[in-house]
Structure 1
Amino acid sequence: MDYQSTKQSEIQTSHTNLFKIKKASQWIEEAKNRPIPQMLFDVFWHEGELCILFADSNVGKSILAVQIANSISKGKSIAGFRLESHLPQQILYFDFELSDKQFETRYSQNFSNHYPFSDKLLRVEIDPEAGIPDVYKNNYEAYLLHQLEIAVVEVKAKILIIDNLTYLGSDNEKGRDALSLMKQLKALKKKYDLSVMVLAHTPKRDMSKPLNGNDVSGSKMLMNFCDSAFAIGRSTLNSTIRYIKQIKERSTEKVYGDDNVCVCNIVKHSNFLEFELTGYSEEREHLREWTGKALNELDQQIIEIKQTNPELSNRSIADKLKTNHMRVGRVLEREKDSITLSES
């Protein structure tokens, strides 16, 4: 046996915990036997992903996260968003933000007529009276992750939502511990075949700039180790308007990017506080520099082009003005009567 054959034999027979070496075709054959990851919250979060949802404080991260958890636990999609797995699933929601009374306020009518959650949605709080073993006295974050793993095993949950990241690691805002934390969450996800969503804050940001991966606390260190990420932005058009935007994706194409964000209002029709999809638009419509005069000028340009070239489609007008064809449609629909009068 020659030297090269000997080395190949050693590689094939040796065992290592760090690397798995297989032919590319073998990886494909093994992957074919595993189910295709299904959407848990449209294109934003798929099964088997470690996902980050981030936004500024008081924008509605927890409201949307509970809404997603409720949807998965009941196997019913949120209006306007896809849920491919319609089998109700057990889900653990680690709530490090709200007290039980604050939670009750959101999902009741003045503390009565409470919303009927599924028994498959399990909410978790920190027990303030729980002691910390001596071995974890100087590493509270490690103790939290250890207890999180125990909870996963005990209830046999496959889906986790952690609200929020800053409670798992005190230095995440500086990015120092972000790498270690994401590695541990990723390892936990792989060990138990989990789908994990982690909520995170954004530091103070320029409201005239589009949302991007640098806006999450911990910055690129966190983004590098997640499978997907999406963000909630606060619109400058109206204090009640929010928009949802894809930031990172691996299991799908980018559908809701700069030129097509999901526009929502936060509403409470009865006893459930939730995001309600109202349409789609370009992100720049919601940014500070695109409010007021700039938007009015764009609307006027759309109307003038349509009056001059009535045969042009909405998409053609959008291409000319480097805007979104859905915005063109909304403007023309709103101004339909005046355009008709001008033409006559």
Structure 2
Amino acid sequence: MPAGTEQRVWFGSGLVPSIQRAALLPLSALYSAGWLGYRAVYSLGLKRAEQPHHPIVCVGNLVVGGSGKSPVALHLADLLRGLGRRVVVSCSGYGSPRQESASWAPDGPLDPGEWGDEPAMLRWLRPDLELVVGRDRVAAARLCALHASDAVLVLDDGFQHLRLAKDVSILLDDPSPPNRFCLPAGPYREPRSSRRLADLVLPGRFRVEQGPLSFLDPIAGAPTDAPEEAVLLCALGRPDRFERSLAEAGVRLSRLVVRTDHDPLLAGNLLEGVPPGATVVTSAKDWVKIRRRSDLDRFRWVVALLHPSIEPADDFRRWLADRIDEVEAEQDRHATG
């Protein structure tokens, strides 16, 4: 489907979207049956998942598009490092040459054209965070075992990667989604019954809360105030959520320049008609691509930073620490048994 069409089909109201969804339901039923069959291959032991590293914590979801996995994965990494743990984050590197197989990311800034926008964003936000990039999560776990055997491996996405066994699976899923169907009639990558396979579903016992946005002048590398008025430039899975967060922060958006998720944002006419000196607000994921543009000096740039937390914070921190301790104790028993 052309960009944006699927959103109208999945979530649109009125007669036409309803007819389109109904027409796609037989294909969704086939897709669901195929996915359940795929899971059964592993649950029945016909294939065995591999796990070359422990502990592995997965932050996943069930739908296509943005659900906030990367900010939550980064929050988990911060929590674990606060507990004295070494952490490696595994990202898919979607759309980049590094997405095939898996590669250990070098130190320093990452080029989003080579490594993907999400790995580049994580490295920009946390310069000392170790990353392994690529869709082959088994290969990523092997690299983690080789380079950082004492680390907790946090998967940014990967719940559907059944070849790799995980120690802790945390699933982000709306408790009351407007469309519960699997592809193509709905946004679900697998049936919602898979929720029961996760160790923790958010929201549920715990919940993700978004703190107030903070704002950064990325050229100066310094905090700044929220702009009163700005042009929005972004390429996100759910730009509507970002727009709402900016509105709640008091930013009036004079113009929206929105591209499909993971767009490189390098087109020369992207900001055509935006007057020189105008303030352009964007996300961290988008800034790591925008910073390569040749017209940076024409505008004032502001990056809006998200600050998610999992609440109640102290209870969740204890839950996470206990789960990691249990995994390591089990590994010690196997090693000595």
Q: Please give the range of the TM-score, normalised by the shorter of the 2 chains.
A: 0.3 to 0.5
What is the TM-score when the length of structure 1 is the normalising length? 0.32
User: Higher relative contact order by CA 8 Å / sep ≥ 6: 1 or 2?
Assistant: 2
Larger radius of gyration: 1
